[in-house]
Amino acid sequence: MTLIGQSVRRLEDRPLLTGEGRYAGDINLPGQLHMRLVRSPVAHGRILDVDILEAVDLEGVVAVWTGADVSAIPPIDFRQEGLTDLYPYRQPILAQDVVRYVGEPVAVVFANDPYTAEDAAEAVFVDVDDLPLTLDATAAPGSFDGTHSTEAAVVRTTYGSVDESFTAADKIVSVEVTVGRHTGVPMETRGALATVEPSGSLVMYGAAKVPHYNRKAIAAMLGIDTDKVILREGHVGGGFGVRGELYPEDVLVCLAALRLRRSVKWIEDRKEHLVATNHSRDQHHRISAAVDPDGFITAIRDEFWVDQGAYIRTHAATVPNLTMAMLPGPYLFPSYETTGHIRLTNKTPAGTYRAPGRYEATFARERLLDAVAHELGESPIETRRRNFIPKDQMPFSRPIRALGTVIEYDSGDYAGILDRLLEHVDHDALAAELAHRRRGGEAVGLGIAFFVEKSGLGPYEGARIQVDTEGAVRVVTGAASVGQGVETTIAQICGDGLGIPHDRIAVVHGQTDAIDHGLGAFASRVTVMTGTATYLATQELEKKAKAVATHVLEVAPEDLRLVEGRVEVAGAPDRALTLGEIAARLEPLSASGMGLEPELAAESWFTTDHMTYPYGVHAAVVSVDKETGGVVIERFVVAYDVGRAVNPMLVEGQIVGGAAQGLGGALLEEFVYSQDGQPLATSFMDYLLPTATEMVAIDVLLLEDAPSPLNPLGVKGAGEGGTTAFGAAIAAAVDDALQKPRAIFRLPITPERLRQIIHGDYPEEGAAPCK
Amino acid sequence: MKTPVKLRVNGQAHEIFVEPRKTLADALRDDCGLTGTHLGCEHGVCGACTVLLDGDPVRACLMFAIQCQDMEIRTVEGLADGEELHPMQRAFWEKHGLQCGFCTPGFLMLAVGALERKPDMDEEELKEMLSSNLCRCTGYQNILAAVRAAQAEMQ
């Protein structure tokens, strides 16, 4: 049976279609309390007083805490250990003396029902004495807390001989670009429900992404044993990088369950979500290329600023590090230097969002490549082709590290995928048609942007497969699901290995009491890591099944075959045992008679030092309305090589969904702040997600030309490549539509900004080429 | 403060006792035990809480339960006929019209309600109709394909 490569229907869907899903908000426990946060109304200030008297007196209110009540709880740590220089910037679970952004938790209310909790939270009065604001991450750094600078760190990566290359350059081309502040915004807001079970264990429902890590972190913060904390993941309404990180509210519900000896539930509302859950992006790059007389780029020099917001959360410097590591993308760039400034401001703290660091770095690099092409007076396609890493140099190593691994592109044919894309869109005819339309007065254009993604981050993930006596199969993994189809994908890999239908397989994930180790769902890693572990476990399970069949059928193991869930004798398929029958033979007594461990089960762990590197091209055709500044995407193609697609329908779903998020960041979504640090996008009326009418039908060219040599399935992650180059491709297409090179240097391309560009009155600070 | 309210949901009567300010969505979820109606924004934009009220798709977060006395409410829990899924549910499954599934009940009720009122919507009308709800996972492509497929079957 070949299940890998089949677009089977998802195992997850039935309960989600019938209203039987169990998201965090759907779980209730008897006698539960409802938690509500009181959040800072100002962006920066010293707390003079938090008046809780009126709130405490409300009927149904059980407790109200301020910073003083939780001052013994340490701030939330980074997942990566040892970054002591950044410790002063960690967030406490409730503000202690100072508030640093609008939305920062200042006090917390616990009441018998959610409406009362909300009433009580409104009755808490927070008196704050304003402090000076920092809202511009590119301005001169100031003081964070009297001791530490708002420039938390300067990170650097370099290789080759950058200075020499720039000195010797025939041309130097520079651009200065900005990617706005936007983020994941899953449709389910965050939520958690904590309870203390009769065993004394603290259980938290509503976990996601990294349950095993968070279990340990919660235990450490609350001073209890890790084995007394259990995290349970239910259905998860979208992750995109932001959900499942350890936030103040997660710790507060757990602490309250312990202190108040009641179950405690918290469901974030949307207004809170937009000021409390991680923001992302918001980078400003000054980037230059040294170009030799042949038009080859010999060196890149980049300097960038990251608006980290008010605290450094669980990711620490992950996003700037990924930005630096992935900026070179598919090009040779023999010398490279980048310097990143991690700046604290008085905005909601930032973390990862789908294609973190890559959406930003790809925008900067591809805008630069377009500027180089313009300088050389050639097609942007030619510039890219000349600088690609050739296929015969794969695997290709750069002396850069990302997420603790050396950057080594495992496989790829960059020129090849570009050819496939150009052929797919019939490039010459398309370009001619667009030129014809432009001559007719339309502002239409084509933009192409290349990207390299990374996926399958290790160092390990495991899978345990168990078959019961009726042949039902259960796979347990420490990975997590945020709604992307993990159960189906893993079941397909398991079913493929065992020759049984995927719908006979149940996949258990995100339960810290089901398996001791698990790293979770991020970095497009689950199919690569858990998928490979599952594949390896099917091989172990096959060995054990054959050992039993050897005893029972009295045939040497090499004469046995595992076919469609049965172990049969080669050449005599009537002599066979089903996996269920074998499991029955492995009941403890008969198992010991055969000298085998009981249960038909196998466990495997896949470990790896290297990530896999999928890659692709985005192509956009847009038309611009010069009157309104509106951009209509007429056509959008994503060519993406994922090595091998386990379920092409699901992979395409990831790409199209990722593209919609790329579109949001390119044209619509932005967290704007007023001059006094008030967030202006706190509802879906102001923070604009793409709807069905803004979205264009994405034409997906799903390729499997470069399987990964790093795992036996050849798979690479598919989660992020729909997003990565979207902004860069749209910007190039708008430039082309306006016949105005370097017109777009900032995302999102809002109608207001585009009108200013068209009418030539864009404020000077951003002006395209930098000195 | 609490008042008795009679809700008729998916053909069943629910006699509940709620504050007048309790939204229909919260009443369905907390007092009727029907958690399939989801809350994504509570300010009427995302449409995850869409239910049918006397046949019309409405935002359950923008209605008070007390306003819905004696009206016929349909939620996602009432779509399937026992084990037999509604054509719209089946089409969403076949066409991969959902990923995380959080917005799905709202989209199902929106599309079913709209197509029951106007079965012959063309492509542009369907897209326009679907643009009243938000999905963050799918990019809408497969939702549109699913609704088109279900439309054919519902006619």
Task: Please work out, in degrees rounded to the nearest 5, the angle formed at the alpha carbon of residue A518 by the alpha carbons of A514 and A524.
Answer: 130
Answer yes or no: do B21 and B73 share one domain: yes
Q: What is the mean pLDDT of chain A?
A: 96
pLDDT value at A639 more than 80: yes
Tell me the CA distances in angstroms from A133 to A96, A345, A681, one per residue in order: 18, 8, 19
Evaluate whether A521 touches A479 at the Cβ level (below 8 Å).
yes
Evaluate whether A619 touches A445 at the Cβ level (below 8 Å).
no
Q: Give the number of other Cβ atoms within 10 Å of residue A68's Cβ.
A: 11
Q: Which of B35, B96, B144 sits opposite A650 (nearest CB)?
A: B96
Q: What is the pLDDT of residues A705-764, one digit of tens each?
A: 999 999 999 999 999 999 999 999 999 999 999 999 999 999 999 999 999 999 986 654
Task: Say which DSSP state A8 is in.
Answer: P
Q: Return the H-helix or E-strand segment holding A420.
A: helix A414-424
List of chain B residues whose C-beta atoms are within 8 Å of the C-beta of residue A687:
none
Helices (H), B3-140: 24-26, 87-94, 104-117, 123-130
Please indicate whether the domains covering A15-132+189-236+243-276 and A280-456+610-759 agree at the CATH topology level.
no
**CATH assignment at residue B108:** 1.10.150.120
Task: Please work out, in degrees rounded to the nearest 5, the angle formed at the alpha carbon of residue A412 by the alpha carbons of A408 and A416.
Answer: 150
Q: How many contacts does A have with B, using Cβ atoms within 8 A? A: 169
Q: What is the pLDDT of residues A7-20, one digit of tens each?
A: 999 999 999 999 99
Q: Which of B96, B100, B133 sits opposite A237 (nearest CB)?
A: B100
pLDDT value at A422 more than 70: yes
Instruction: State the smallest CA–CA distance between residue B25 and chain A in angstroms.
Output: 12
List of chain A residues whose C-beta atoms are within 8 Å of the C-beta of residue B35:
19, 21, 25-26
Q: Which of B94, B134, B142 sits opposite A9 (nearest CB)?
A: B94
Query: Bigger pLDDT: A634 or A403?
Result: A634
List of chain B residues whose C-beta atoms are within 8 Å of the C-beta of residue A185:
136
Answer yes or no: do B21 and B72 share one domain: yes
In this prediction, residues A469-491 reach a mean pLDDT of 95
| Rounded Cα distance, A579 and A572, in Å | 17
List of chain A residues whose C-beta atoms are within 8 Å of the C-beta of residue B128:
692-693
CATH superfamily for domain A15-132+189-236+243-276: Aldehyde oxidase/xanthine dehydrogenase, a/b hammerhead (3.90.1170.50)
Q: Which of A20, A661, A692 sits opposite B130 (nearest CB)?
A: A692
Answer yes or no: do B100 and B73 share one domain: no
Evaluate whether A180 touches A747 at the Cβ level (below 8 Å).
yes
pLDDT value at A767 more than 90: no
In this prediction, residues B54-58 reach a mean pLDDT of 97
Query: Nearest-CA residue of chain B relative to A650?
Result: B96
pLDDT value for A1: 57
Answer yes or no: do B50 and B103 share one domain: no
Evaluate whether A664 touches A689 at the Cβ level (below 8 Å).
yes
Q: Is A37 helix (H, G, I), strand (E, B) or coil?
A: strand
Beta bridge partner(s), residue A178? A284, A746
Tell me the CA distances in angstroms from A323 to A453, A514, A525, A631, one per residue in order: 11, 35, 18, 28
Q: Is A207 helix (H, G, I), strand (E, B) or coil?
A: coil
Q: What is the pLDDT of residues A502-532, one digit of tens each?
A: 999 999 999 999 999 999 999 899 999 999 9
Please tell me the total number of residues recorded for chain A in this structure. Answer: 771
In this prediction, residues B29-37 reach a mean pLDDT of 98
Q: What is the pLDDT of residues A519-567, one digit of tens each?
A: 999 989 999 999 999 999 999 999 999 999 999 999 999 999 999 999 9
Domain boundary, last residue among B46, B78, B110: B78
pLDDT value for A764: 45
List of chain A residues whose C-beta atoms are within 8 Å of the C-beta of residue B36:
18-21
Query: Nearest-CA residue of chain B relative to A183?
Result: B136
Burial class (CB in 10 A: 0-12, 13-18, 19+), A127: exposed
Answer yes or no: do B68 and B96 share one domain: no
pLDDT value for A768: 43
Answer yes or no: do B55 and B114 share one domain: no
Answer yes or no: do B101 and B57 share one domain: no
Instruction: State the smallest CA–CA distance between residue B77 and chain A in angstroms.
Output: 5
Q: Do B41 and A270 touch (CB under 8 A)?
A: yes
pLDDT value at A350 more than 90: yes
Query: Nearest-CA residue of chain B relative to A700?
Result: B141
Tell me the domain boundaries of chain A.
15-132+189-236+243-276, 280-456+610-759, 457-607
> Between A358-376 and A380-387, two packed helices, what is the crossing angle to 10 degrees?
110
Q: What is the pLDDT of residues A374-404, one digit of tens each?
A: 999 999 999 999 999 999 999 999 999 888 8
Determine what percent of chain A is predicted with pLDDT higher than 90. 97
Burial class (CB in 10 A: 0-12, 13-18, 19+), A294: exposed
CATH fold, domain A457-607, is Aldehyde Oxidoreductase; domain 4 (3.30.365)
Domain count along chain B: 2
Q: Is A229 helix (H, G, I), strand (E, B) or coil?
A: strand
| Rounded Cα distance, A120 and A257, in Å | 19
Kindly write down the DSSP assignment for every residue of A680-693, as one continuous string.
Answer: S--STTTS----TT
pLDDT value for A401: 87
Q: Return the H-helix or E-strand segment holding A360.
A: helix A358-376
List of chain A residues whose C-beta atoms are within 8 Å of the C-beta of residue B139:
656-660, 690, 695, 698, 722
Q: Do A12 and B96 touch (CB under 8 A)?
A: no
Please tell me the total number of residues recorded for chain B in this structure. Answer: 155
pLDDT value for A82: 87
Q: Is B102 helix (H, G, I), strand (E, B) or coil?
A: coil
**CATH assignment at residue B65:** 3.10.20.30
Assess whether the previous peptide bond of A648 is cis (omega < 30° from 0).
no
Token output for A108? 């917390």
Evaluate whether A42 touches A675 at the Cβ level (below 8 Å).
no
Find the domain containing B142 and state its range.
Answer: 87-154
Tell me the CA distances in angstroms from A579 to A4, A64, A477, A498, B46, one per residue in order: 20, 57, 21, 9, 47
In this prediction, residues B83-99 reach a mean pLDDT of 98
| Rounded Cα distance, A539 and A545, in Å | 10
Q: Do B76 and A25 touch (CB under 8 A)?
A: no
Answer yes or no: do B62 and B122 share one domain: no
Domain boundary, last residue among B28, B46, B78: B78
Q: Which of A433-442, A754-763, B63-72 has the weakest average pLDDT?
A: A754-763
Q: Do A25 and B104 touch (CB under 8 A)?
A: no
Domain boundary, last residue among B28, B61, B78: B78
Report domain A280-456+610-759's class. alpha beta
Answer yes or no: do B47 and B71 share one domain: yes
Helices (H) and strands (E) in chain B, counts: 5, 5
Answer yes or no: do B69 and B99 share one domain: no
pLDDT value at A769 more than 80: no
Evaluate whether B75 touches B98 at the Cβ level (below 8 Å).
no
In this prediction, residues A460-488 reach a mean pLDDT of 95
pLDDT value for A691: 98
Answer yes or no: do B9 and B63 share one domain: yes
| Rounded Cα distance, A597 and A612, in Å | 36
Q: Do B40 and A188 touch (CB under 8 A)?
A: yes
In this prediction, residues A636-655 reach a mean pLDDT of 98
Evaluate whether A79 touches A220 at the Cβ level (below 8 Å).
no
The count of C-alpha atoms lying within 13 angstroms of the C-alpha of A636, restricted to the half-sphere facing its C-beta, is 30
Answer yes or no: do B8 and B66 share one domain: yes
pLDDT value at A771 more than 50: no
Helix, strand, coil abundance in chain A, percent, nearest 5: 30, 25, 40
pLDDT value for A278: 98
In this prediction, residues A155-162 reach a mean pLDDT of 97
pLDDT value for A164: 98
